[in-house]
Structure 1
Amino acid sequence: MKLESPKVVLDKSAEETFNFLSDVKNFESLMPENISKFEVLDEGKFLFALKGMPEIILQKKETIPFEKIVLGAAGGKLDFSLTCFITNVDDNKSEANLVFDGEFNPMMSMMIKGPISKFIETLTTNMKTAV
């Protein structure tokens, strides 16, 4: 299952956007209002939980400076990645969007498609004010 957020234009360079998103503690400011837990586990790993959902641990898996950051599930029953693509628009503007990619059975896909779509859209929308 692959889900993509809308692109947002940010008033920061690609380098500034990349640096902000490379620091996992900054993801707390992107989380939806219904977050019930957020904890930085180490420099490249954090745990979060939304009300009514299990805890999820995300870990930085890959970075390409100023272009891409890949976070992947660290442990747990679900294997997925969340990739942030960053495009430089000009010296003071960049564009970002998130892509969620995971392998799930059809029943699980049906159950999580709506909440995951809303989640990545919220993260992207919150980038406008947080980054």
Structure 2
Amino acid sequence: MTVFESKVRINRPVSAVYQFLSDFNNHKQLMPDSITNWTSDRDSANFTVQGMANLALKISNRIENSSIIIVPAADVPFNVDMRWVVVDLHDGTTEAVITLSAELNMMMKMMASGPLQKLVNQQTATLARVV
């Protein structure tokens, strides 16, 4: 598995950050401009990665004020999952960590590593601004 991770400290309580992340409707705000045709509900999202493919994701597990696990809702070319972990820092702030794990062959790893790391970095940076 190849792992991409990014974390950020947010000046909001853990409950506010968790509530935002636990609703897939909010995740559109975290996505780059290359994501189009976004449709979502609380538990799932469908979208197109410009020039690549259509993807369907779903939230498979929620642990209140702790973590959210996101997995593919349909067949994908490689195994992948995303985990958001939120940690109460006990001073009114929260640490949010996104970990994207993907089973990539060597060729896919060479092509996708940069964009996937950029994606998780963008998601944490944007999360800190919008929550």
Query: TM-score with structure 1 length normalisation?
Result: 0.91
Structure 1: 5+ residue stretches without partners? none
Report how far residue 69 of structure 1 moved.
Answer: 0.6
Contact 2:49-2:55 at 8 Å conserved across structures: no
Of residues 48-57 and 22-31 in structure 1, the stretch that sits farther from structure 2 once superposed is 48-57
Partner of residue 108, structure 2: 108
Q: Match of 2:94?
A: 94
| 1:61 matched to 2:60 | yes
Q: Match of 1:75?
A: 74
User: Shift of residue 35 of structure 1?
Assistant: 2.2
**Superposition deviation, residue 113 in structure 1:** 0.8
Once residues 72 and 13 of structure 1 are traced to their aligned partners in structure 2, the CA distance between those partners, rounded to angstroms, is 26
Q: Which amino acid aligns with 1:4?
A: E
Contiguous gaps of at least 5 residues in structure 2: none
Residue 65 (structure 1) shift: 1.1
- Deviations, residues 106-127 of structure 1 (Å, cap 9, x unaligned): 2112211111111111111100
Name segments (4+ residues, structure 1) moved above 4 Å.
none
Output the CA distance in 1 between the equivalents of 2:34 and 2:111.
Answer: 18
Q: Percent same amino acid at aligned positions?
A: 27
SS of 1:90's equivalent? coil
Corresponding position of 1:33: 33
CA deviation map 1:31-69 (0-9, x unaligned): 1123222111x4311012232221211100111111111
What is the TM-score with the length of structure 2 in the denominator? 0.91
The 1-side partners of 2:42 and 2:87 are apart by 24
Deviation at 1:91, TM superposition (A): 4.9
Paired with 2:69 and 2:35, the residues of 1 have a C-alpha distance of: 21
| Aligned alpha-carbon RMSD (Å) | 1.4
Distance 2:47 2:82 in 1: 14
